[in-house]
Chain A
Amino acid sequence: MAGPALRPWFAAWARHLRPGDLLVLFLALGASVGSALFLWQGGRPDKAVVKAGGRIFAEVDLKTPRTFEVPGPLGITRIEIQPGRARVASDPGPRQYCVRQGWLSTSGAVAICAPNQVSLALSGSRADYDSLNY
């Protein structure tokens, strides 16, 4: 990036850096990156909770991809899990709202298939809601 013309310019400034200054600078940049990793991961979900008829049907982690079928009054709702995200792949309900929500990837996100009484919710260390019920 820095052309040869800029090299003396950089050298003139770098002369004023002492060894400990570089250490402090790297610690400062590390603190920035570290605080970003620590503070900005709250929205990342770590498990999916599937409910059928108001009861917990399954609680799965979001690490291994899989699909499973949840029976309801209208038929079978298929839930698909992939690393870090989950969706309702198909549902027998008439309006398909939960299917059309697509992939859920933030903690606290919920897809509710009300006609078939199935819900899919992602939970993590920090959620946007305390609880949801229907």
Chain B
Amino acid sequence: MTPSTTERILTPTPDDQRVARHAAAAIVLTVAEAAIPLPLPGVKPGLANIITLVVLVRWGWREAAWVALLRVLVGSLVLGQFLAPGFFLSLAGGVASLVVLALSRYLPPRLFGPVSQSILAAFAHIGGQLVVARAWLVPHDGVFYLVPVFALAAALFGLINGLMAARLLAEHSAPATGDGTRSGLVR
């Protein structure tokens, strides 16, 4: 007999738990970042993308997509932005950068590291947001007036996030130093 829904037990696999851990770390960064005052709406460091990059390199695109999309969903729920315009902008940016990250894996890894992936994903993020903003929220070419500001922010924050992801990855793959200070994010 088919067990009733109250009897059915979902057992999370180690993969599920790893996704949940990484998504939790990304959500914490999203919420912490929301407290930083910034001069322009839409310009954010996007620190949670460090987690996405680390997961992408270590565990593959599928898990990175899970982490990024869970982060968008739960981050918006925690911040009270779920289904508000900001949520759709984040979602569009997140999906666009996941597409670019999927393509970026075909770059030769000797030449292009997490910094390249981070900058490319940041540009895809503003691209996806601008498409949604232009098509739906602000149906006027005036939204493109701020493109240079967004592009500069994407270049700078993409560089910083990429460097942090690269360093986390390098420190994790290096032999243990035994000082116990290693971040738990990439375990």
Give A contacts to B, CB under 8 Å.
13, 15-21, 24-25, 28-29, 31-33, 35-36, 39-40
User: CA separation between A35 and B127, bound complex, in Å?
Assistant: 13
User: Contact at A28–B155, with CB atoms within 8 Å?
Assistant: yes
User: Contact at A18–B167, with CB atoms within 8 Å?
Assistant: no
Interface string of B104-145 (1 = CB under 8 A from A): 000110111111100110010000000000000000000011
User: CA separation between A33 and B158, bound complex, in Å?
Assistant: 16
User: Contact at B123–A21, with CB atoms within 8 Å?
Assistant: no
The 5 closest A-B pairs by CB, nearest first: A20-B111, A36-B148, A16-B166, A28-B155, A20-B112
- Which residue of chain A has the shortest Cβ distance to B166 in the bound complex? A16
Known contacts A16-B163, A25-B159, A39-B145; A31/B151 CB under 8 A: yes
User: Contact at A39–B148, with CB atoms within 8 Å?
Assistant: yes
B-side binding surface: helix, strand, loop or mixed? helix
- Which residue of chain A has the shortest Cβ distance to B162 in the bound complex? A21
Known contacts A35-B147, A39-B145; A18/B163 CB under 8 A: no
User: CA separation between A59 and B110, bound complex, in Å?
Assistant: 58
- Which residue of chain A has the shortest Cβ distance to B154 in the bound complex? A28
User: Contact at B123–A28, with CB atoms within 8 Å?
Assistant: yes
User: Contact at A21–B113, with CB atoms within 8 Å?
Assistant: yes
- CB-defined A-B contacts under 8 Å, sample of 28: A13-B163, A13-B167, A16-B166, A16-B170, A18-B112, A18-B115, A19-B111, A20-B108, A20-B111, A20-B112, A20-B113, A21-B112, A21-B119, A21-B162, A24-B112, A24-B116, A24-B119, A24-B120, A25-B159, A28-B154, A28-B158, A29-B152, A31-B155, A32-B154, A35-B147, A35-B148, A36-B148, A39-B145
Query: Of A16, A32, A33, A40, which is within 8 A of B113 by CB?
Result: A16
User: Contact at A32–B148, with CB atoms within 8 Å?
Assistant: yes
Query: Of B116, B145, B147, B170, which is within 8 A of A21 by CB?
Result: B116
User: Contact at A40–B148, with CB atoms within 8 Å?
Assistant: yes
**B112 contact set on A, CB distance < 8 A:** 18, 20-21, 24
User: CA separation between A35 and B148, bound complex, in Å?
Assistant: 5
User: Contact at A28–B119, with CB atoms within 8 Å?
Assistant: yes
Known contacts A13-B167, A25-B155, A32-B155; A39/B147 CB under 8 A: yes
